[in-house]
């Protein structure tokens, strides 16, 4: 009898696995809520609400970054420590603010970078489940960390200001970090959006309403 039950359970598991594998991606993976409405971008150096294509962006991996229903989606294979970046802007940009909306659906990390040159710059990592914080990095070196609740399946607004060698990070309109880079690294550069699986080995993240504005 136990052998029959075990066989039935194995058969049911195989049927379920086949059904999940053959289901459309919209069934296998939850979709984000509608993104916030874009705000007018006055005097912007760059803006994108992803209502078109990605001709102004350049990614480092094929097949990771796509536009889905007017949002930019990044999805990585379910393996640990996988990452990808997509770049935009002018390497000569100096003092500017980067505003965007971000929604993590799977995984922990949601990242952006400013003043990027030769794949290095000032990075911001908005970490979700298990962390609920925001980190500021100069390449691999941490400049600051602060609590910042940001559940998966919800949109959050990030603003990063780069003026001189001072960096301010806002999450949902609240100032979280205000740090000076005493090494005076990266005086200029473009922007990058990041996808990163980390130790949990999963990443699906959406971005929208990217705006780069000059700072005096």
DSSP 151-177: -TTS-EEEEEEEETTEEEEEETTEEEE
What is the C-alpha to C-alpha distance for residues 170 and 99, in angstroms, rounded to an integer? Answer: 9
What is the C-alpha to C-alpha distance for residues 141 and 10, in angstroms, rounded to an integer? Answer: 49
Helical residues (DSSP H) of the chain, grouped into ranges? 2-22, 25-28
Which residues in the chain come in under a pLDDT of 50?
1-27
The pTM of the full predicted model, rounded to 2 decimals, is 0.85
User: Which pLDDT score is estimated for 26?
Assistant: 37
User: Which pLDDT score is estimated for 16?
Assistant: 29
User: Which pLDDT score is estimated for 28?
Assistant: 55
Percent helix, percent strand, percent coil in the chain, to nearest 5: 15, 45, 40
What is the C-alpha to C-alpha distance for residues 150 and 170, in angstroms, rounded to an integer? Answer: 13
Superfamily holding 45-214: Exo-inulinase; domain 1 (2.60.120.560)
| β partners of residue 145 | 135
User: Which pLDDT score is estimated for 27?
Assistant: 36
């Amino acid at each position: 009898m136990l052998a029959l039950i075990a066989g039935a359970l194995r058969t049911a598991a195989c049927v379920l696995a086949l059904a999940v594998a053959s289901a459309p991606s919209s069934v296998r993976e939850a979709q984000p809520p509608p993104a916030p409405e874009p705000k007018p971008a006055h005097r912007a150096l760059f803006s994108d609400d992803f209502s078109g294509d990605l001709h102004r962006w350049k990614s480092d991996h094929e097949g990771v970054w796509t536009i889905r229903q007017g949002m930019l989606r990044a999805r990585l294979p379910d393996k640990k420590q996988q990452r990808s970046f997509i770049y935009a802007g002018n390497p000569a940009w100096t003092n500017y603010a980067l505003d965007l909306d971000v929604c993590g659906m799977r995984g922990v990390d949601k990242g952006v970078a400013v003043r990027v040159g030769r794949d290095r710059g000032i990075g911001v990592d908005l970490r979700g489940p298990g962390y609920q914080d925001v980190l500021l990095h100069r390449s691999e070196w941490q400049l600051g960390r602060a609590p910042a609740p940001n559940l998966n399946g919800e949109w959050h607004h990030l603003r990063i200001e780069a003026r001189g060698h001072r960096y301010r990070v806002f999450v949902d309109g609240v100032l979280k970090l205000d740090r000076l880079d005493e090494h005076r690294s990266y005086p200029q550069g473009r922007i990058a959006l990041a996808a990163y699986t980390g130790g949990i080995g999963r990443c699906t993240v959406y971005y929208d309403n990217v705006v780069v504005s000059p700072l005096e």
